[in-house]
Amino acid sequence: MVNKMMFVLLKQLVHRPATNPFPVKHAPANVTELIEKVQKGEARINPPVPIPEGFRGKLLYDPERCIGCRLCIMVCPADAMEWIPELKKIRHYASRCMFCALCVDVCPGKKFPGEEKAVKALRMSEEFLIADYDKYSDNLIEEPPEAREPYMEEETAVKAEEKT
């Protein structure tokens, strides 16, 4: 049985990976301070070289385009997708993701009136800095906004307990 993944594997044997090399000469003296400045908006991180074609960065999820087929969950080798039954949508954990883009390949998407073809609910971005100290950070979890409320309440309760 030949599928799309086999072609991807064969292509990777022949071609160089689409990576963004980060030379040591451009590395900051203190990475922790730099990340804190970026989070505060005091600094910006620019890639040292142009982002190559085929680069697979952070996964972006459009819940309006999601039809709830769960194909992405079935093909994800890292178990980075979670089904939210109440919303019939998914939650994606970037901290678990391998950035293989299999979910993007299988996503059928949704066609809105006036559009010629369906647009996928999942796509890979060019964002390459995906790190945070908070495991519930918006930077690490892609999900519909209404799915975020229980986590925010839980996080507030945990922080209140820690203070007492």
Q: Give the model confidence (pLDDT) of 72-113 as tens digits.
A: 999 999 999 999 999 899 999 988 899 999 999 999 989 899
Is 19 a residue whose pLDDT tops 70?
A: no
pLDDT value at position 138? Answer: 76
Section 35-56 average pLDDT: 80
pLDDT value at position 164? Answer: 66
pLDDT value at position 78? Answer: 92
Measuring CA to CA, how many Å separate 28 from each of 4, 31, 48, 132?
40, 6, 12, 17
Among the ranges 50-54, 94-98, 136-140, which has the highest mean pLDDT value? 94-98
Section 25-40 average pLDDT: 81
Task: Name the percent of the chain lying above pLDDT 90.
Answer: 32
Is 145 a residue whose pLDDT tops 80?
A: no
Residue 126 has phi, psi (to 5 degrees) of -95, 5
- What type of residue sits at position 111? K
Q: What is the pTM of this model?
A: 0.61
Q: CA-CA distance, 121 to 110, in Å (whole number)? A: 7
Residue, of 101 and 127, whose pLDDT is higher = 101
The conformation of residue 19, written as its DSSP 8-state character, comes to: -
Structural domains of the chain in order of their starting residue, each with its CATH number: 4-18+53-163 (3.30.70.20)
Name which of 121, 126, 122 is nearest 57 in CA terms: 126
Contacts of 132 (CB under 8 A, 6+ apart): 39, 139, 140
